[in-house]
Amino acid sequence: MSRWRYDREFMVELPRVSGKIRVAFETLAPYDDDDPLHGLFAWIRLVIWTNREGKQMPHVNAASELEKLFRARLQAFPDPQTGGELSLYLTDYEVGKFELRPGEASWDGEIVPPNTFLEYLGREDWRRKQREKAGP
């Protein structure tokens, strides 16, 4: 696909949502050393939702903390039952597990990030959290 640090496409088949989604991550890179953004560090997440009719809905998010982008919703959909919104989340980046919930809040459950990002999330911190979940 491209030079993104993580770049995958998934088929999404949930009871109320089906289509294809591309999720990609990269760091913000200023154009040159004179750019006012030089010295700023941020992660960029590209999401492109493609519905069954082929219509694409792209958007980009940025954050200085990678985990916040992992927890942010990927795509919003209208909820005809409530008149509100449903949000799509990727909760396991390795196997492509998706969850759909009402509202727009960040995901508050477990997230399994891509293995390629464990160094950025802090290997020891990640392992400690996994051990705590597993228990004695």
The predicted model scores a pTM of 0.80
Cα–Cα distances (Å) from 56 to 10, 47, 51, 73, in that order, read 14, 10, 7, 17
Give kind and range of the element (H or E) at residue 129.
Answer: helix 123-134
Strand ranges across the sheet with 17-27: 6-14, 17-27, 43-51, 56-63
120: left (phi over 0), alpha (psi -120 to 50) or beta: alpha
Among the ranges 15-19, 32-36, 48-52, which has the highest mean pLDDT value?
48-52
Delimit the domains of the chain by residue range: 6-134
Query: At a CB cut-off of 8 Å and minimum separation 6, what does 20 contact?
Result: 9, 10, 11, 12, 49, 50
Cβ neighbour number for residue 47 with a 10 Å cutoff: 20
User: In this structure, how many other beta carbons lie within 10 angstroms of the beta carbon of residue 93?
Assistant: 20
- Average pLDDT for 44-61: 96
pLDDT digits (tens, 9 = 90+) for 62-96: 988 888 999 999 999 998 888 889 999 999 999 99
